[in-house]
Structure 1
Amino acid sequence: MSGRMGTAQGAALLVGAVLGPGMLVLPHLAADAAGPASVLAWAGMLALSVPVALTFAALGARYPGGGGVAAVVGLAFGRHAAAVAGWWFFGAVPIGTVAGVLVGGAYVEASLGVDATLAACLILAAAFAANTAGLRTSGRLQIGLVALLVALLATAVLTAAPHADAVRFTPFAPYGAAGVAGAAGVLMFAFVGWEAASHLSGEFADRRRGPLRATVVTLVVIGLLYAGVSVTSVGVLGADMPDVPLTALLEIGVGPVARPVTGVVAVLLTFGAVNTYLAGAGRLGAALARDRALPGWFAKGGAPGETPYRSLGLLAVLSVPVLVAGQDLDLLMRATSACLAAVTTAGVAAATRMLPAGRHRVTAVVGTVMSLVGLAFCGGYLAVPAALAVVALLVLKANARRSYKIGL
């Protein structure tokens, strides 16, 4: 039986999967890496997204409710590959959520005067507490938070754009091609999430064309927003922009009242995103344990309606040292980007085997090539997914050996 979701609702959910609170700080990090030429990195990443997004839409239309990237990778390449892809996402969550709460904390400090690290700790603790209590961000609330972020970005662009000055784009590329590549590496954080089309497909009223239509609408929305934010932030603030560029843009365009409002909005956006990611990662951890990619002890609570306390506890244990030692937001976002880029690459590579010959497979091949280019932009940070892959395979081997001994 088909779902009831139309193009508009599907696009809203996809925008929510791709767009996140990282947008509150990424213009600053990209400009810091490449200067005004960061706009080229934004444009390049948008171009990369097109075949990747269309590939996941085609995959979802052919395999409705595909169960996420790890399941798709497992179907194409086997359970070891699925375990590695699962670990890439699971391992990215403690790093990415800490990066997210630090973004929220920076805006709280700039807007409300509360210490950034304290605010980040409170947001992270609240998200873990909410998940432990079984509270989830509802679909409608999540869409509302995404709409709030879209409104914030659009308002910043429209009100601040008249203050742009072409002189702020010179010198255009002070760090050369290497700077643009470095900016692309951190911007990967803003260009993941397209795989959501593959496991939302079963909810569409039109399962064959719905995912594609929603993906095209999302590409247009994301393209307009990202282009507007990247060009306006440089044109108005210059390459040496503050750590909280959206607050600065809104103050220029709207006035001082924007400062406290932006702080409150940043808290809501950050909490909503982190809460949702922890909920998904908690269930993923239980699923990995069930499939022997984590010790079996962590599988408890993974059934529908249950709370995966043990998996959430593991995420909390992993998050604490990251929060204590990882105050470098650029480093955290690049490490997260490398992991999520690896997940995306595995997904589109799986699609080259699972989609039938024709234009969809060609798109998947192009998406795989472009995803590999995106991975290359991550540079030395690829050591993080490489290490997680080793851990995943070692855990699988240890669990297989234990099962063999028990069988004996």
Structure 2
Amino acid sequence: MCSSLAPFRRAVAGTRWSVSYGHAIMNTMASTSPIAIVPPVADPHGDDGRIGLVQASALYVAAVLGTGILTLPALAAEAAGPASVVAVAAVLLLSIPLAGTFAALASRYPDAGGVATFVRLALGDTAARMSGYWFFFGVGAGAPVVGLLGAEYLVSVLGGERWHVVLATVLIFVPPLIANAFGVRVSGSVQLVLTGILVFVVIGVMSFAAGEVRERNFEPFLPHGWGGVGAAISLFVWAFAGWEAVTHIAGEFRRPRRTIPWATAIAIIVVGASYLALQIATVGVLGESAGDSPVALLDLVGASAPGYASTVVAGIAVVVSVGVLNAYLPAFAKLGASLGRDGHLPRWIGRGAEAGAVPRRALLVVAVIDACYLSLCVAGGLDLTPFILVHTSSMVAVYALGMLAAVRLLERWSVGWWLAVVSLVLVAGLVVLAGANMIVPALLALAAVVVTLVRRRRHAR
């Protein structure tokens, strides 16, 4: 069971720099005027959206909580021991500026383009095309990782052959694809159920584990020094990423100006409390053995509720993976439709970009892209490392441009503006740390520039 998750364990350990608030600043993109003429975004005060506060909160929780609960508590405990609890609290506080900035942008400019729309308004069409390509093609490389991780957990717990992992991955993709083919009203309802189950399971695990927590397991508190805490922080920054995903369906929210900030606040509380409780239980129950296995959640459930561990963990893996995909697939589809609408991708994909419409063509394209990524992963022996690197480095690039756009768009000296400034500084550090891993975002940026040059030449003719 442990060996089957070894590729993901190595991948996470090798990409600790990449999980964070931020993403790459590239200053050469503004080839058009600073404020481009773009289709109008949805009314931020409108009341005709399909997603209310409860469903919006569920989508945010699923996008951010993610598959990290399956592996990160163990990896953080291995890096920092009991002090990993401090790392969770620190990242929770540090995630507030990033989450707050995206909430301020999405509530003011609700559009299917999400970050690409913010960037276009602030930096021009070429920059918007870059951020759109980064998210659609780069961040999208992480979708098969989500499915494979859930499938790995399921097959490891229940037993099976390696080909069962691929089959389980395909089956995990089916429910969110079907739900989103019927629109966000259906997928939002599904997400509410999935998130409710996930939170209920986490509460249940904590209830069983509470009686097994031992104070002696928190000593020594800093076995690896503050350097270990820093490593654990790098891991958990990845766990708190995902605030940008829901911006692409912000136009589907009722009264975005009010709903998005409240949904963001609720998600911060739920996600922060869940990770903090899981980390305390992991260290308090398992002690020094907490970092021995990448599937510490299984060990935790086994220690607190013997006889039910396999069933519970398998269920958690499936619910988490389906929930994350159900939150991200509509974001990819809406972004793809907006890119088609604005001429950055073939225009036939643009149907469904408007609020209330279902981007079925773009969803089909997303399914084909994910199938290609999954095929490449299978051909590579289910090695997740390259896909995690592409995913995280692309997110770094998206976040950096998003924060730069926020500094230009939000009212200067306002709370949102200050949050954007803080986030931009934090993201800039990640860009430096990313180093050579930024090659894929650089290639996608080059593709965006080429598209601009081709379009200019055609316009000149």
| TM-score normalized with structure 2 length | 0.75
Q: Which residue of 2 aligns with 1:118?
A: 163
Alpha-carbon deviations, 1:165-192, whole Å to 9, x = none?
3343345444444433333333233212
- Alpha-carbon distance in structure 1 between the residues aligned to 2:193 and 2:93: 28
Distance 1:223 1:197, change over 3 A: same
Q: Which residue of 2 aligns with 1:249?
A: 300
Describe how 1:43-82 pairs up with structure 2 within 5 A. Answer: 43-65=89-111, 67-82=113-128
Distance 1:148 1:201, change over 3 A: same
Q: Which residue of 2 aligns with 1:389?
A: 441
The answer (yes or no) to whether the contact 2:109–2:118 under 8 Å persists in 1 is no
Corresponding residue to 2:270 among 221, 224, 241: 221
Corresponding residue to 2:239 among 190, 195, 208: 190
Shift in Å at residue 293 of structure 1? Answer: 5.1
Distance 1:330 1:398, change over 3 A: closer
Q: Which residue of 1 aligns with 2:426?
A: 370
Alpha-carbon deviations, 1:319-344, whole Å to 9, x = none?
32234437455775565344324423
Alpha-carbon deviations, 1:76-119, whole Å to 9, x = none?
1222222222233224445422322232123213321124x434
Gaps of 5+ in 2: 1-45, 353-357
- Alpha-carbon distance in structure 1 between the residues aligned to 2:240 and 2:458: 45
Shift in Å at residue 356 of structure 1? Answer: 0.9
- Alpha-carbon distance in structure 1 between the residues aligned to 2:343 and 2:255: 36
Gaps of 5+ in 1: none
Residue identity matched to 1:76: A
The answer (yes or no) to whether the contact 1:18–1:194 under 8 Å persists in 2 is yes
Q: Which residue of 2 aligns with 1:398?
A: 450
Q: Which residue of 1 aligns with 2:403?
A: 348
Distance 1:204 1:98, change over 3 A: closer
Corresponding residue to 2:202 among 132, 153, 166: 153
- Percent of pairs identical after alignment? 34
Q: Which residue of 1 aligns with 2:133?
A: 87
- Alpha-carbon distance in structure 2 between the residues aligned to 1:290 and 1:383: 33
SS at structure 1 position matched to 2:93: helix
Shift in Å at residue 160 of structure 1? Answer: 0.8
Q: Which residue of 2 aligns with 1:361?
A: 417
Distance 1:48 1:326, change over 3 A: farther
- Alpha-carbon distance in structure 1 between the residues aligned to 2:79 and 2:171: 33
Describe how 1:315-330 pairs up with structure 2 within 5 A. Answer: 315-325=370-380, 327=382
The answer (yes or no) to whether the contact 1:201–1:210 under 8 Å persists in 2 is no
> Number of aligned pairs?
400
The more displaced of 66-75 and 311-320 is 311-320
- Alpha-carbon distance in structure 2 between the residues aligned to 1:387 and 1:403: 24
- Alpha-carbon distance in structure 1 between the residues aligned to 2:67 and 2:48: 29
Residue identity matched to 1:160: A
| TM-score normalized with structure 1 length | 0.83
Residue identity matched to 2:403: V
Distance 1:291 1:185, change over 3 A: farther
Q: Which residue of 2 aligns with 1:267?
A: 318
Describe how 1:174-185 pairs up with structure 2 within 5 A. Answer: 174-185=223-234
The more displaced of 192-201 and 313-322 is 192-201
Q: Which residue of 2 aligns with 1:379?
A: 433
- Alpha-carbon distance in structure 1 between the residues aligned to 2:338 and 2:373: 18
Residue identity matched to 2:58: A
The answer (yes or no) to whether the contact 1:33–1:179 under 8 Å persists in 2 is yes
> Given the alignment of the two structures, is residue 313 of structure 1 paired with residue 368 of structure 2, yes or no?
yes
Corresponding residue to 2:286 among 237, 256, 267: 237
